[in-house]
Structure 1
Amino acid sequence: MVDLAYVIAGSEATGGAGIQVDLKTFQELGVYGVGTITCIVSFDPKNGWSHRFVPIAPEVIADQIEAATSAHDLDVVKIGMLGTPDTIDVVAEALGKQSWRHVVLDPVLICKGQEPGAALDTDTALREKILPHATVVTPNLFEATVLSGMPEITSVDDLTEAARRIADLGPRYVVAKGGVELPGDDAVDVLFDDGEITVLSAPKVGNERVSGAGCTLAAAITAELAKGAGVEDAVTFAKEFTTAGIEGRVAANTPFDTVWQGALVEQLALED
């Protein structure tokens, strides 16, 4: 029997983030991926690789969700970039129509193609309407700071407190990611599980952010949960999978590298 995982997220045209990364991750981990596109993001090479953001019409998103959930018995879903309050309304309604074993939320709070006011409205709607549905949420350092209401996060203790505060908003499991931006030699993530804290640490691979790392981590968690893993095991494996992908990063004509989702499989094959 084939395990299935669903993703509702934006499309990123270079292939380095968004639903492209999610589906590649699912495939690498032996899970049949089903996807709904919420928006299209195209980096602009003529303007410093800034974002160009185009939302998908809410009724088209609703049609995609109807088709996906009618065709397959889906009970594990990853939520990525939604982008507008109207999109959030449609997705929140869909999440409420059925029971889900797991909803993994990668809380993308900002898009550089949006005006600040629109971005704030989207952030508020995400917090109020999507976060309560999530069983697992995976904020990066910036997102953890915003969602927790903390003035700053500069230590593992701060990261742990942020995870605790975010859990108070609804999700049982919070994976607060320090990444390269948290001071120290290691990339540290904190898993908060109903009061229990697990610190996951790996040496930093350089000091620059790599595109698609957050998408890859959340998608790998989703895939492992779809296969029946427990959350701690899923998060631990996803950290290993993503770290390997950062080490095997793909360079391009962009000013940033991207995660290679096939890196861990390549590493294991070489070890054999």
Structure 2
Amino acid sequence: MIVHALTIAGSDPSGGAGVQADLKAFSAHGAYGMSVLTALTAQNTRGVQGVHPVPPSFVTDQLDSVFDDVRVDAVKIGMLGDAATIRVVADVLRRWAPPVVVLDPVMVATSGDRLLAADAVAALRDELLPLVHLLTPNLPEAADLLGVPPARDEAEMTDQVHRLGALGPAGARPSVLLKGGHLEGPESVDLLLVDGELTRLTAPRVPTRNTHGTGCALSSAIAALRPQRSGWIGAAVEAKAWLTTALERSDELHVGSGHGPPHHFHALWPPPAPTSPRR
């Protein structure tokens, strides 16, 4: 059967991040996408100009409407915004127990704008994390969760991914994909911790400014792929390879004047025809 994937996140009217990016990533990996909005944002490739939270009770209504009617094979969680929204999402997950839950703990946008209230970090760590199967933080988000400075090299990443894997009660600790995109060097290295075993995922670092929504895209791709693959490693390897090509071909889109998005549909859309020189 075709995978049904649900994103719980905020919107991005420019289409590069949030729910819009999640739905594109689901579709690119053969999944039927559904969405529950936690916030409306005014944002573009240059930054976030405003955030309008959805009332937590209406987040619950949206979630129950979906779960009550549609089979949900995978859930990807992105921007939640505040502690009250985190608690209602956690409550719904407890009641419906979807088989795959991926949490991308959106705290700070690529532009530097904070998207999760500082006092909500404890609620995310204590109430939502025990219900999650895969946690996918970048280095600043991992530092926020652990209360430490961001990792500066792969050795510090290794220490932090093990510490993240120990969060939450025993028996309910998620696998962790710690994304190393904020480091420098010719390789982009991510560390995947599954059942205490560490896997190093590498790809060439793509020299592009089009990084808007890359975290959304990667976590959504993994969520869509996990029900179609035998484990987290296979899903993560395939998703990372897809994202690398999406970054390599991102210049084909010409979206915005700031940090543009990756090309989610690079495998489906033909490359633009070369322009003929003028005579």
Task: Normalising by structure 2, report the TM-score.
Answer: 0.87
Give the match for residue 259 of structure 1.
262
Task: Name the CA distance, whole Å, in 2 between partners of 1:246 and 1:163.
Answer: 25
Q: Deviation string for 1:118-151 (max 9, x for gaps)?
A: 7211222212221121110100111122223333
Measure how far apart 1:49 and its partner are: 3.6
Task: Name the CA distance, whole Å, in 1 between partners of 2:51 and 2:266.
Answer: 30
Distance 1:229 1:37, change over 3 A: farther
Give the match for residue 35 of structure 1.
35
Task: Name the CA distance, whole Å, in 1 between partners of 2:254 and 2:117.
Answer: 30
Measure how far apart 1:60 and its partner are: 1.3
Distance 1:35 1:152, change over 3 A: closer
The question of 1:9 aligning with 2:19 is answered no
SS in 2 for 1:12: coil
Contact 1:5/1:26, CA 8 A, preserved across alignment: yes
Measure how far apart 1:44 and its partner are: 6.7
Give the match for residue 22 of structure 1.
22
Measure how far apart 1:114 and its partner are: 6.0
Distance 1:247 1:239, change over 3 A: same
Distance 1:192 1:130, change over 3 A: same
Contact 2:11/2:18, CA 8 A, preserved across alignment: yes
SS in 1 for 2:117: helix
SS in 1 for 2:222: helix
Q: Deviation string for 1:160-204 (max 9, x for gaps)?
A: 11111011013331000011x213211110001122111111111
Q: 1:175 is matched by which residue type in structure 2?
A: L
Measure how far apart 1:2 and its partner are: 2.0
Measure how far apart 1:228 and its partner are: 4.1
Give the match for residue 190 of structure 2.
189
Please give the residue correspondences for 1:1-272 in structure 2 after superposition, counting only pairs within 5 Å.
1-43=1-43, 49-110=47-108, 119-170=117-168, 171-179=173-181, 181-206=182-207, 208=209, 210-249=211-250, 250-265=253-268
Task: Name the CA distance, whole Å, in 1 between partners of 2:120 and 2:228.
Answer: 32
**Structure 1 unpaired stretches of 5+:** none
Q: 1:176 is matched by which residue type in structure 2?
A: L
Structure with the bigger RCO (C-alpha within 8 Å, sep 6+) is 2
Aligned residue-pair number: 263
Q: Deviation string for 1:81-102 (max 9, x for gaps)?
A: 0011121111111011122322
More helix by share: 1
Measure how far apart 1:209 and its partner are: 6.1
Task: Name the CA distance, whole Å, in 2 between partners of 1:220 and 1:21.
Answer: 10
**Structure 2 unpaired stretches of 5+:** 272-279
Task: Name the CA distance, whole Å, in 2 between partners of 1:189 and 1:126.
Answer: 22
Q: 1:5 is matched by which residue type in structure 2?
A: A
Distance 1:137 1:44, change over 3 A: closer
SS in 2 for 1:202: strand
**Superposition RMSD on alpha carbons, in Å?**
2.2
Q: 1:210 is matched by which residue type in structure 2?
A: T
Identity among equivalent positions (%) equals 35
Q: 1:187 is matched by which residue type in structure 2?
A: S
Q: 1:60 is matched by which residue type in structure 2?
A: F
Distance 1:173 1:251, change over 3 A: same
Distance 1:235 1:166, change over 3 A: same
Task: Normalising by structure 1, report the TM-score.
Answer: 0.89
Contact 2:247/2:262, CA 8 A, preserved across alignment: yes
Measure how far apart 1:207 and its partner are: 5.9
